[in-house]
Amino acid sequence: MKLARLLSLTGLSIFLYTPIIVVLGSSFNGPRQMAFPPQDPSISWYTNFFSDTSWTTSLFNSIVIAVFSSTFATVIALVTALLLWQKDSKLHQTFVGAVSLPFLLPGIVFAVSISLVTASLGLLGSLVGIILGHTALLVAIPLVTARLGLAQIEQIQVEAAKLMGYSDRQILTKLVIPIIRPYLVAGALFSLIISMNEYIVAFMVSGFSIETLPIKIYNSQRYGFEPTLSVGTMVYMMFSLVLLSYIAASGKLWSLLGIKES
Amino acid sequence: MNKQQLPIAAPHLLLVLYCIIVSFAPLLFLFTTSVSTTDPLTGQVISYGLNNFQEVFYDTYYAVQIAYTVGLVSAITVVTLSMAVPLTLAIAKLKNVARSAWVVMLLASLALSEVLTAFAWQLLLSHSSGIPGWLSYLGIISGDKSWWPSFPAMFVVMVYFSLPIAMILLLPAIRRLDPFLIESAYTMGFSKIAVFFLILIPSLRGPIFQTAILTFLLNIGGFVISQQLGKPSDWMFAVFIADFMRTFNVPFAVALSFCLLIAVLLCLAVANLIFGRKPVETR
């Protein structure tokens, strides 16, 4: 049985990571064509990536969009989660459903419909439009983590704070926020990663005038493959890995996944 | 409005405004645009009517494409879940450190978007940088053809894209399973296969159903993997929507999106009717 488990998990790791290893290897290929194992290995495509303004601009756009949309999404999620935590009413449950709706719609359907909204607001083809689209898409993620964090607060802690004469504002700032902070940070980081990677909403709202890195990679493929594409992909992988490692190191990974460790 | 009400009223107002812009307005625009006809030159609405839907259902082409997409995504969901359940069970049984490492590995691979996943697999299935070239070098196969675009390539990559997400969603439920239930089944003489199908799967019915729904929703709205790895005849419905948006035939693209949304809602209703009911408990 142990052998079967070992074989199946080895197979899984090969399945999941072989494509990534090929991308990593091809990013170090010397000549312009794609090859694995890399021929005449060099880091020239990395220097090429960071010295080409079309690539660095699209990376910068992705970072700006991801930072703003994950921050806004976390604020909206926090407000929604706190309202439901304070009072489990029909209205507050409707808020939870409404802010989560964009995440649950089929991707293309939400992308098309939010592009219509941004067009009517005059935001099509602007960073603000993509930030709005990503914020809407991502709120569901920090909402889940914020609610997990709020579930850690016991009623007795709130009662004790009240007995000590804390005002509602003090309970919020000195008890609730410190307890749920790691959950909010993790939610914000998860949404940051997803925003950096998101293509469909960004493509529909970009109006062909703004390129994020996924849009740039997608568009560049039409002109043939070159190792800069692999470099872009690896930059993203490294970015996601650093953020995920931070979440894992925070010690909250298991409870964020809803797992109680023994 | 007094000071006591202010902190409560402000977040309500913020959320109402937010929900109008990002949740209700998109659906309203989706509906109104799908029933509008615009001037191709100015983009101004000329009239409202069911012209776009009449065009969609002029013949059976788009209906067949929706049915194909629903069937394809259902098959991808079934294959993904058939792999995810036993593999997640295997990971759940590992010791803490190994299990943590696997969770980080799964999270890292699911951080790859559709675009990056499609690109990575295009390299892996290319003759110059991937498996066909390696097998040809070893003399196992002949020829210099890449393995994409093709239906199998598209199918495998969509399963690859869905698998880590399904496993991450299943892991908490599998960890919460009562180990005594399984031990008692073994004590009663059940075989490993019988325990899997008669104890584990029924116990995980709810989480498996929820994961299947999310996997289905995740894939039905995507088009990049399908367009990049499949042949035109393999493309999913979302590719048509994206193409009509690219060519500025917005009302028709919106009408197609509306049809896809209705088809998805119908599928979810049917799935909920068939699989969503709690099993009758017998004693």
Got the DSSP string for B211-274?
Answer: HHHHHHHHHHT--HHHHHHS-GGG--HHHHHHHHHHTT-HHHHHHHHHHHHHHHHHHHHHHHHH
Of the listed ranges A9-18, A176-185, B147-156, the least confidently predicted one is A176-185
Average model confidence (pLDDT) across chain B: 85
Residues of A in contact with B132 (CB under 8 A): none
A99 touches B at CB < 8 Å:
yes
A47 touches B at CB < 8 Å:
no
Q: Write the ipTM.
A: 0.84
- Contact criterion met (CB below 8 Å) for A72 and A255: no
A125 touches B at CB < 8 Å:
no
> Does the structure show a pLDDT above 50 at A121?
yes
Task: Flag if A18 and B108 touch (Cβ within 8 Å).
Answer: no
How would residue B204 be classed by pLDDT, with cut points 50, 70 and 90? Answer: confident
B265 touches A at CB < 8 Å:
no
B250 touches A at CB < 8 Å:
yes
> Does the structure show a pLDDT above 80 at B110?
no
Measure Cα distances from A30 to A35, A82, B93 in Å: 9, 54, 44
Residues of B in contact with A17 (CB under 8 A): 105, 109
pLDDT score at B115: 87
pLDDT score at B11: 86
Q: Higher confidence at residue B101 or residue B258?
A: B258
Domains contained in chain A, CATH given: 52-256 (1.10.3720.10)
Burial B39-72 (b: 16+ CB within 10 A, else e): eeeeeeeeeeeeebbeebeeeeebeebbeebbeb
Residue B128 has φ and ψ, to the nearest 5°, of -75, -30
Report percent pLDDT > 70 for chain B.
Answer: 93
Residues of B in contact with A168 (CB under 8 A): 7
Sequence spans of domains, chain B: 59-275
Task: Flag if B120 and A80 touch (Cβ within 8 Å).
Answer: no
Nearest CA in chain A to B214: A104
DSSP per-residue letters across A211-262: --HHHHHHHHHTT---HHHHHHHHHHHHHHHHHHHHHHHTT-HHHHTT----
Strand, helix or coil at B45?
strand
Nearest CA in chain B to A73: B18
pLDDT score at B156: 95
Average pLDDT, stretch A199-216?
89
Q: Where are the alpha helices (DSSP H) in A27-52?
A: 44-51
The two three-digit tokens of residue B199, written as one number? 């104890």
Give the closest-approach CA distance of B281 to chain A in angstroms.
27
- Contact criterion met (CB below 8 Å) for B109 and A16: yes
C-alpha–C-alpha distance, residues A170 and A175, integer Å: 7
C-alpha–C-alpha distance, residues B105 and A55, integer Å: 27
C-alpha–C-alpha distance, residues A191 and A131, integer Å: 12
pLDDT score at A258: 66
pLDDT score at B183: 79
C-alpha–C-alpha distance, residues B242 and B16, integer Å: 31
> Does the structure show a pLDDT above 60 at B2?
no
Measure Cα distances from A138 to A67, A75, A188, B101 in Å: 12, 11, 9, 26
pLDDT score at A251: 66
Report percent pLDDT > 90 for chain B.
Answer: 33
> Does the structure show a pLDDT above 90 at A114?
yes
Smallest Cβ–Cβ distance between B119 and the set A91, A102, A229 belongs to A229
Give pLDDT tens digits for B47-98. Answer: 788 888 888 888 888 899 999 999 999 999 999 999 999 999 999 888 878 8
> Does the structure show a pLDDT above 90 at A139?
yes
A244 touches B at CB < 8 Å:
yes
> Does the structure show a pLDDT above 90 at A26?
no
Residues of B in contact with A110 (CB under 8 A): 26, 221
A213 closest CA partner among A244, A193, A236, A240: A236
Average pLDDT, stretch B169-185?
81
pLDDT score at B67: 93
> Does the structure show a pLDDT above 90 at A32?
no
| Window 136-155 of A, Cβ < 8 Å to B | 136
Give the closest-approach CA distance of B151 to chain A in angstroms.
18
Give the closest-approach CA distance of A240 to chain B in angstroms.
7
pLDDT score at B47: 76
pLDDT score at B278: 59
B265's CB contacts (< 8 A; 6+ apart) are none
Q: Higher confidence at residue B113 or residue B158?
A: B158
How would residue B282 be classed by pLDDT, with cut points 50, 70 and 90? Answer: very low
Residue A87 has φ and ψ, to the nearest 5°, of -150, 115
pLDDT score at A261: 57
How would residue B7 be classed by pLDDT, with cut points 50, 70 and 90? Answer: low
Smallest Cβ–Cβ distance between A34 and the set B103, B128, B224 belongs to B128
Q: Which residues pair with B47 in a beta bridge?
A: B37
CATH code of the domain made up of B59-275:
1.10.3720.10
Smallest Cβ–Cβ distance between A113 and the set B27, B96, B103 belongs to B27
C-alpha–C-alpha distance, residues B66 and B69, integer Å: 5
- The total number of residues shown for chain B amounts to 283
Give the closest-approach CA distance of B176 to chain A in angstroms.
8
C-alpha–C-alpha distance, residues A59 and B40, integer Å: 35
Give pLDDT tens digits for B17-50. Answer: 999 998 899 999 988 888 888 776 676 777 788 8
Task: Flag if A108 and B222 touch (Cβ within 8 Å).
Answer: yes
Residues of A in contact with B122 (CB under 8 A): 221, 225
Average model confidence (pLDDT) across chain A: 87
Task: Flag if A200 and B224 touch (Cβ within 8 Å).
Answer: yes
Give pLDDT tens digits for B225-245. Answer: 999 899 999 999 999 999 888
- Contact criterion met (CB below 8 Å) for A186 and A145: yes
